[in-house]
Amino acid sequence: MNTYPQPNTPTVNPPARRSNNTTWLILGGGVVIGTFLVLGIVVAGIILYLSQDNIAQDVTVAGLPVSGMSSNEARNYLAQNVPAQSLLLTDGTRNWSLRLVDLGININVDATLNAAQNANAGENVQPFYTVDLNQSQSGFIYLSDLANIPASTNPAQNGRAIDIPVMLERLRVNLNAEIADGVLDLSMIDVAPPVQENAQANSGATTVHVVERGQELGLIAKEYGVSVEDILAVNDLANPDVIYVGQELIIPAGGVYEPAAADAPPAPTGVGKEIVVSVDNQRIYAYENGQLVRSHLVSTGLPDTPTVYGDYHIYIKLAADDMAGPGYYLPQVPYTMYFYQGYAIHGTYWHNAFGRPMSHGCVNLPTSEAEWFFNWAEVGTLVRVI
């Protein structure tokens, strides 16, 4: 009988029983790992928060709440809202309100944001500002229409006007301090009544009328007892509605007005082109070979900053120039002709009060008149101030 080998039967051991100690070790390790994960997330959040330079609790900038904002949030918020804040402007008795941006004032966001991020909780941060002086002058010119008090001749009474060159210089050199409390004190000057003139025409007397604020051609004509058409004709005007403050209008009493007024000073030499500026008459005269070819009211220097007297010559002509002196600044003054040191004949965009002293020593003309003199005169042209 054959015997076949028997297959090997594997021995199966029963599963080992896990000890209670191992189970608790695994569970405890999971808890520790989970705790560290949570702590890691918290720490990462804190690091992220700090890395964003979030602003401390209850911090404000110019009264605007920026508490808890990130850099980008605060930057956008401040850039949008600070320039729109109002600034109170006062002449001591009257007040006006303009937005900062209307005066060319904007926020220096980087400097202001840095101050806010370093501020203590509950602190109000004063912004740092920048200024565009070209926009500032536009804002002050607009305000002048509201704040200036015209001088009157009957009865004679001084007016008041914003000294725009001085205001621009104040903003230029000390901007942040000037507006730190939200109030800007206006520098005002007294304005004398305009010089009253009579000129002689070929066949009768005529009067030069200087247009003042609020006047219309029809009312001016009625005041002098002439027709609007007469004034239009003698002044070569096409539109009776287009007149401006400071404009000279010839009021005819008969005949045709000619520029050779009887009270015009004589030409200095009678040779070539010459300019005479009369401080007493507040008037400029242009002569060519002894003949008067043009004349207009000007504004010369105020008593504290008088225009120099004497004979000079134009030594440089600039289509526009930034002008500065002690306590004043003016950007891009048009049609500037320097005749002695910093003294010049130039256009004027910041006032219309011609016919009376208004300047810091220069000879102010309406811009359109300054353009004519600029194109007519040459470097070397004699300028006599009397």
| Domain-located, residue 44 | no
Token pair for residue 42?
A: 């918290």
pLDDT in tens, 328-373: 898 989 999 999 999 999 999 888 778 888 899 999 998 888 999 9
| Residue 4 confidence (pLDDT) | 43
Looking at the structure, tell me whether residues 248 and 269 fall in a common domain: no
Closest CA to 234 of 265, 209, 268: 209
Task: Count CB neighbours of 336 within 10 A.
Answer: 21
Which helix (H) or strand (E) segment holds residue 116: the answer is: helix 109-117
Specify whether 64 is located in the same domain as 86.
yes
Return the amino acid letter for 79.
A
* Mean pLDDT value across residues 226-255: 76
Do 76 and 183 lie in one domain? The reply is yes
| Backbone angles phi and psi of 345, in degrees to 5 | -95, 130
Same domain for 70 and 175: yes
Considering the domain boundaries, does residue 361 fall inside one?
yes
Q: What is the pLDDT of residue 210?
A: 81
Neighbours of 114 (CB within 10 A): 15
Query: How much is the pLDDT for 90?
Result: 96
The β-bridge partners of 1 are none
Name the amino acid, one letter, at 110. Answer: D
pLDDT value of residue 104: 95
Q: Do 300 and 283 meet the contact criterion of CB atoms below 8 Å apart?
A: no
The residue out of 227, 242, 262 marking a domain boundary is: 262
Q: Same domain for 369 and 333?
A: yes
> Is residue 156 included in any domain, yes or no?
yes
- Domain CATH for 185: 3.10.20
Flag whether 291 is in a domain. yes
For residue 301, what pLDDT is reported?
93
d(CA 102, CA 86): 9
Helix, coil or strand: residue 184: strand
pLDDT at 242 over 60: yes
Residue type, 87: L
pLDDT at residue 211 above 90?
no
How far from chain centre, in Å, is Cα 76?
24
Asked if residue 256 and residue 344 are part of one domain, the reply reads no
Residue 200: per-residue pLDDT:
40
- Predicted confidence (pLDDT) per residue in 243-268, tens digit: 877 788 888 764 334 444 557 899 99
How confident is the model over 18-44, as a mean pLDDT?
A: 56
Dist. CA 210–CA 196, nearest whole Å = 9
Average pLDDT of the chain, as a whole number: 82
* Residue 143: closest CA among 81, 91, 84: 91
Do 70 and 127 lie in one domain? The reply is yes
Tens digit of each residue's pLDDT (9 = 90 or more) over 117-127: 999 998 999 99
d(CA 345, CA 353): 16
Provide the percentage of residues in the chain whose pLDDT is more than 70.
78
Q: Tell me what the mean pLDDT of segment 315-320 comes to.
A: 93
Residue 292 banded pLDDT, cuts 50, 70, 90 = very high
Listed residue (247, 382, 385, 373) closest to 319, CA to CA = 373
DSSP string, 319-371: EEEEEEETTEEEEEEEEEEEEETTEEEEEESS---TTS--BSSSEEEEHHHHH
The Cβ of residue 79 has, within 10 Å, a number of other Cβ atoms equal to 14
The pLDDT confidence band at residue 35, using thresholds 50, 70 and 90, is low
What is the predicted pLDDT for the residue at 257?
A: 40
Q: Nearest Cα to 62, choosing from 82, 88, 79, 80?
A: 82
The domain in which residue 86 lies consists of 60-191
DSSP three-state, residue 148: coil
Mean pLDDT, rounded, for 271-281: 94
Give the CATH number for residue 213.
3.10.350.10
268 and 250 fall within a common domain? no
Residue 368 has what pLDDT?
A: 86
Q: Which residues contact 74 (CB under 8 A, 6 or more apart)?
A: 55, 61, 66, 113, 116
Query: Tell me, what's the pLDDT at 198?
Result: 46
**Domain count of the fold of the chain:** 3
**306 lies in the same domain as 274:** yes
Here the tokens at position 18 are 């896990």
Nearest to 232 by CA among 252, 254, 210: 252
Q: Residue 271 domain-assigned?
A: yes
Closest CA to 86 of 185, 182, 219, 175: 182
3-state secondary structure of 26: helix
Q: Which of 163-172, 235-244, 323-332 has the lowest mean pLDDT?
A: 235-244
Beta-bridge mates of residue 278: 283
Q: Residue 361's domain is classified under what CATH number?
A: 2.40.440.10
Q: Write down the pLDDT at residue 377.
A: 96
In this structure, the answer to whether residues 306 and 287 fall within a common structural domain is yes
118 & 140 share domain: yes
Residues 286, 364 within the same domain: yes
Looking at the domain assignment, is residue 104 inside a domain? yes
pTM > 0.75: yes or no: no
- The Cα–Cα gap between 259 and 201 comes to 8
